[in-house]
Amino acid sequence: MRKRGFEVVKEYEDKGINLPVRKTKHSAAYDIEAAEKIVLPSFKQGMKPTLIPTGLKAYMQSDEVLLIVSRSSGPKKGISFPHSIGVIDSDYYNNPENEGHIFVQCINLKDEDVVIKKGEAVAQAIFQKYLTVDDDNAEGERTGGFGSTDKKDK
């Protein structure tokens, strides 16, 4: 039985995407690369973050989460995560809207644009168990992709 891992989404299957790896045997995180060249414009007030496609999706146990965190080299390059940590829920995998494609939200705090090359590590991913409270009764089902848990039915 598969427990957790990464796969390439269909849209990027023939684009040379590398599955994430840990660099050392005691590393907690897997390095996540950009799936294509992206230009991060210099941040201006009111701009939305740039979404960097990874070409990846992740599967895990139902009581696990994948945390997307900044690399220590990010701030040196002027790259920041506006949300601090990305949360990928287990039910995001293979969702009908975007197949569970993981994107990394970034802003560029430098005065000039920053170019992210295809294959450049842009984030780290950590699988983690999570706990629920005694009276938890969540019964909702994911119906969308990126940012869909905040969307209300209309």
pLDDT range class, residue 153, cuts 50, 70, 90 = very low
> Does a structural domain hold residue 99?
yes
- Does position 154 have pLDDT exceeding 80, yes or no? no
Structural domains counted in the chain: 1
pLDDT of residue 76: 78
- Which CATH number covers residue 30? 2.70.40.10
pLDDT of residue 5: 98
pLDDT digits (tens, 9 = 90+) for 61-90: 999 999 999 987 777 788 999 988 999 999
Domain that holds residue 122: 5-130
What is the pLDDT averaged over residues 129-142? 84
Q: Which two three-digit tokens encode residue 41?
A: 């414009």
CB 100 within 8 A of CB 54: no
> Does a structural domain hold residue 148?
no
**Rounded to the nearest 10 degrees, how much is the dihedral formed by the CA atoms of 20, 99, 35, 6?**
10
- Does position 144 have pLDDT exceeding 70, yes or no? no
CA dist., res. 81 & res. 104, Å (int): 8
Q: Which two three-digit tokens encode residue 78?
A: 């002027």
> Does a structural domain hold residue 138?
no
> Does a structural domain hold residue 141?
no
> Does a structural domain hold residue 143?
no
pLDDT of residue 112: 95
CA dist., res. 122 & res. 118, Å (int): 10
CA dist., res. 9 & res. 34, Å (int): 13
